[in-house]
Chain A
Amino acid sequence: MSFLQPFILMALPLIALPVLIHLINQNRHKTIQWAATMFLMQAKRMSRGMARLRYLLILLMRMLAIAGLLFALSRPMSSGWLGLTAGSQPETTIIVLDRSASMSQQGSSTGISKRETALRKLSSLISNTAQNTQLVLFDSASQEPLVINSAADLLDLPETEATATTADIPGLLEKVVEYMSSNQTGRTDIWVCSDLRQTDWNPTGGRWEAIREQVANREGVRFYLLTYPDVAGENVAVSISGVHRRENANAAELVFDIKLNRAGRPETPLQIPLNIVINGARSTLNLEMTGSELIRNGHTIAIDQKLKQGWGKVELPKDSNLADNTFNFVYAEPALRKTVIISDDHETAELIRLATSIPAERGLRSESEIIPSASLATIPWDEAAMIVWQIPIPTGATARLLEEFVASGRTVFFLPPETPNTNQIFQTSWKQWIQTAANESNRVSRWRTDAGLLGNTLSGSPLPVGEIEARRYCEFETEGATSLAQFPKNVPMLARIIFGQGAAYFCTTLPKEADSNFTSNGIVLYVMLQRALARGAASLGAARQLECRLDHDLDAGNWKPLDKQSSEILVSSRTIQPGLYQAGETLFALNRPVSEDRIATVEATELEKLLSGLDYTIIDDAAGSSKQLASEVWRIFLILMIAALLLEAVLCIPEKQSPPKEIGSLESS
């Protein structure tokens, strides 16, 4: 328990006052000559027991009354989680704030979001109970530590505002562990405020084990999970995909796929008026939704034939989560998705070409080109959306060109050459080929399903990555690569390195029949390469659909807002808030990642597994809840004091006595 006026507790020795007064009173006695001592002795014998107990109870009640008064004056806080659990205030309090779009879900009657609720409660708790602790905020958008002077600032900081990003909770915790190690934070309380979405927590990812291990090795670290797992009573999320412009001789139209996700009571039919805004012109599409998902593919809207590019958005009526009611899009003539395959291995190159040259969507144009190592000078650096590199890692000018290529937002997909060299690029180098033993199964055992090239499909179904088996793989050495898929014994199959705006991928096996079964399970190879290509192509063309995330490489400051809502967003927040912008000829539409629409949360048992061995407390809360994490409970002590005084008074009531008899009036025998 913690106290707002703890110095008053220094007066606690006053509890002994009744005993002291009792002793003083005993010493202040008057001496009387007494004749009827025999009755005194009898009365003393008779009074042992209840009378003595009564007297002790009176003393106890008086002590309780003083204790109650002192405690009431010291303003105790109930559930003072910070102080109560460890007996003292933590030296450091780290707040891990999930700012993902799903945390914007509001309480049914209060209109206060989960994120705001968590912030208010934490601010109140820390302000009241842990003024002397160092406060450090880790928000999911920036993932950077921010030292805060006062807990009251939590509500006003731009770093705690709502975003349309997704959260990487394991990634954040890795950063927290790193911070604790480098700053020697001492006794640390870590408050994790999150809605426990599976997409944010990625419980099947391989990072939790390392986090658990590192935290368990530190003393005095305690986790408090302020969770908001409740799914909104009635909420619909909208997203669109595959936006492209189609034109024939007489007219032009915009084609896109609409997807609605519904939480709440999916069995009840729901009429949804969907507003579609294209270049400022508004129209309404009435949809009837039954079930938890509605997909309308190939929805078309006629547009001005003269307009080759433009912007738009779809909007839903207000519901419990405002963050998923709007989805922005931009359109333009699609850029050519050109893949350049640098390889001397004809078989591998052909397989890659096949997988990359077939477009994933209608209206897209894909093209692949194989270039041998002898003709590196002919690589069309400016046209390519992705380069597949299956020759030894280059050095010098070629390496720099590759880095610039990735930094500009495009993709390089590295495959191991037959004879790897020791050169390093993106802090990664190939080592040697390993042949899997004939009797050994080397299937992919773990992969990231929440995001990345092997993530689940939009409908949440996983790709059959577990069926991929490598007969031969090439080891590599890296620093800073994120593993996306692993063979047994933590041997990586696919790893990613973010560099600038783009990404470099390292796949440790080849799609050839001799090396893996990629070809017999072609879907994984196709999806993997198409996603890598799509990522690279996103930085090309005049219309770019981006997922909100803090991206310092985007020159958002020079963007020009296309609608009113976008113009109200701070420049520093443009990449983490949904919006529509134009930079030169290029249009940008930023939206929440669609994974935020998935409502699956981490189950309690799963959460226990993730945090097993750690010192943690889970506090389930709800959006808009007014129940305080810590509240003043002086009234209880005041009531206790009054009760003690009343009881003392009752105990002090003298027993009913018959009026004294006059001795002289007694009859004589």
Chain B
Amino acid sequence: MTADPRGVLTGVHFLDGDHAACEGALAAGCRFVAGYPITPSTEVVERFAGRIPLVGGVFIQMEDELAASIAILGAAWGGQKVMTVTSGPGLSLMMEHLGFAAITETPCVFIDVQRGGPSTGLPTLPAQADMMQVKWGSHGDYQVIALCPSSPQECFDLTIRAFNLAETWRAPVFVMMDEVVGHMTEKVVIPEASAIEVVERRWTSKAPGQYRPYEPTPDGVPEMVRAGDGYRIHITGLTHDERGYPAMNPQHQDRLIRRLNDKIRKAGEALVDVREDQCEGAEVLVVSYGITSRVASAAVRSAREKGIRVGHARLVIAWPFPRDRIRALASGVRGVVVPELNLGQMVQEVERSIPAGVPVLPVDHAGGTVHDPDAILQRILEAAR
């Protein structure tokens, strides 16, 4: 189906990434946001709070991030498409409810506008250091989907996609922005509502009495109902059976947790999005994501001017990590260069994905600004030797 025109601000705009992400959420059909504003993500909820009365929906400024992250899960079971928005310190507080979202298979979107950490760190300056936290920060085995926009246009586009993926896979989906992408202003084209695909919730067609909340469909994802529509449902963070009732034994644990993980891990190409630039026949491969991919592009161009055949693979979907694709692209290269605004996070995924013997050269950075393209260029030159 296509977007509800009430939420779509069709036109050509000059917007920053935070505002563009808000418009993406509205276009995707998000009608409930609970948040606890935090720099550098505040503009997302500020705009949402201003726009939602015109569109029809709810914004609640909660007492803290724990409340924000659980309120959205309640609203999702009430039938809404939901989102919360935060940055590092708030994200840390949301980890409990990230796990609750995963085990209850509640469709929800988290926008994380990353800033320097740990703790309060650098409130107004960028980092990409929450990449592992969103994957591993809640306890237990679970999967998330994480998208990495590198421009305000992508903040719009990928936020819509985040909502669609959340509904398709019934899993928490992250939009991993950073302070630079959030605060940079560029042209953003918002199409007509009829040109925006939105994915509807997997509503059941079964009658009350026949419906079981956690009975998987063939792709492993169960169907949903709206609380209060006459179905008997039980939603719990405890390990549960297909009726949703606690079933705390190894057999149900194995069945449920494998299914939760496998529905994402075995999704295959549906959850792979690597943008490849001249990767065929490359002698050096650069793997990047988010704002760093733009800086890396400058370095890649300089290296090509020096005659080096550099391929550039940009991860639009960082989680699930596209292990097979990266392995294929890295086969036959002399080295893989991985710049990121942290001291080495996604580079670990690259290292364990690629063929033995191919050197991996991280270009780490503690955050606070973007890389100097020369630092990335130097590593490319080193890899090409």
Q: Do A and B bind each other?
A: no
